[in-house]
Amino acid sequence: MLEAYWQVQLHQTKKDYFEEEQIGNIHAPNIGTFELFLIIKYMSEKEIKNMFEQCGIDTIPLEENCSDFIKIVLGNLRREKGLRCNRELWNCLMVVSYMDIDCGLAEDLVDCISERLNWLVCREHIVNDVNSFCLTLGKRA
C-alpha cells in the first residue's frame, strides 16, 4: 500500500510540474557555427535549398563568428584533394549564397570553384549552385 501511495505522489508531482511549465520549441535568433557545421556536413544540396526557400530567407541571420568559421571550413575543403569532400564543398557554396560575405571570402570561393571545376563537376553543379551563388553575389554588390 505504501508503494502505491508513492507512485500516486510521483505521478501527481510530474503532472503538476508539466502543467505549470511552458513546454515548446526554442528558436535561436541567429544560426551559429554548430548549426552551419550540421548543415554543411549532413544535409543535401536539395534540403538546404528547400529549407531556405520554405523559410523565405534571402540572407541567413548569423552569429558574428560564422564568417570566420566558413573561411576555416573553406580552407580545409580546398586542401582536401579528390572527391572525398566534394559534397561538403558544394554544400558550403550553397550556404554561402545565402550569407552576407565580404570580398575576401567571395574571392576565396571563386578560386575554390575554379580549382574544382572539371567537366563532371561542371555538369553536375554549374547550372544550379554556381549560378545561384553568382546571382546572389550580384544582388549584394
Could you tell me which of 117, 108, 90, 106 has the C-alpha nearest to residue 141? 106
- pLDDT value at position 13? 55
| Backbone φ and ψ of 58, nearest 5° | -90, -40
Instruction: Give the residue-averaged pLDDT of 102-111.
Output: 84
Question: 123, exposed or middle or buried, with CB in 10 Å at 0-12, 13-18, 19+?
Answer: exposed
- 44 to 14, 16, 21, 67: CA distances (angstroms): 40, 43, 37, 21
Residue 89's Cβ-count burial label (10 Å; 0-12, 13-18, 19+) is buried
Could you report the per-residue pLDDT of 10-37, keeping only the tens digit for each? 555 555 555 555 556 666 788 899 999 9
Please report the beta strands in the chain, taking only residues with DSSP state E, as ranges in sequence order: none
Q: What is the mean pLDDT of residues 42-71?
A: 88
